[in-house]
Amino acid sequence: MSAPFDLPRITSPNGAEETVGQVDATRVPRFAEPATFARLPRLDEVSRADVAILGVPFDAGVSYRPGARFGPSHIRASSKLLRPYHPALDVHPFAAQQVADAGDLGVNPFSIDEALRTVETAITALRQEGSTVLTLGGDHTLALPILRALHRDHGKVAVLHFDAHLDTWDTYFGAHYTHGTPFRRASEEGLIDMERSQHIGIRGPLYSKRDLEDDSVLGFQIVRSDDFQTDGVTSIIDRMRRRLAGGPVYVSIDIDVLDPAHAPGTGTPEAGGLTSRELLQTLRGLTGMNVVGADIVEVAPVYDHAEITGIAAAHVAYELLSVLAANGPV
Q: Which distant-in-sequence residues (6+ apart) come within 8 Å of 12 by Cβ?
A: 18, 47
For residue 113, which of 175, 69, 174 has the smallest C-alpha distance? 175
Whether 102 and 136 have beta carbons less than 8 Å apart is answered as no
**Closest by alpha carbon to 244, among 287, 202, 280?**
287
Identify the three-state secondary structure at position 297: strand
State residue 24's pLDDT score.
87
Q: Rounded mean pLDDT of 189-214?
A: 97
Model pLDDT, residue 15: 52
What are the backbone angles phi and psi of residue 194, rounded to the nearest 5°? Answer: -75, -10
**Residue 26's pLDDT is what?**
85
pLDDT average, residue stretch 174-201: 98
Q: Please state the CATH superfamily assignment of the domain spanning residues 9-327 in this structure.
A: Ureohydrolase domain (3.40.800.10)
Amino acid making up residue 231: D
Question: Quick check: 4 pLDDT over 80?
Answer: no
**Euclidean distance between CA atoms 144 and 191, whole angstroms:** 9
pLDDT, residue 5, reads: 37
Distance, in Å, from the CA atom of 241 to the CA atom of 283, rounded to the nearest integer, reads 11
Question: If you average pLDDT over residues 303-307, what whole number do you get?
Answer: 97
Kindly report, residue by residue over 8-66, the tens digit of the pLDDT: 555 454 555 555 788 888 888 888 878 999 999 999 999 999 999 999 999 999 999 99
- Distance linking the first and last C-alpha atoms of the chain: 32
Q: Is the pTM of this model over 0.75?
A: yes
How many helices and strands in the chain, by DSSP H and E?
9, 10
Average pLDDT, the chain: 94
For the chain, how many residues are written? Answer: 330
Per-domain residue ranges of the chain: 9-327
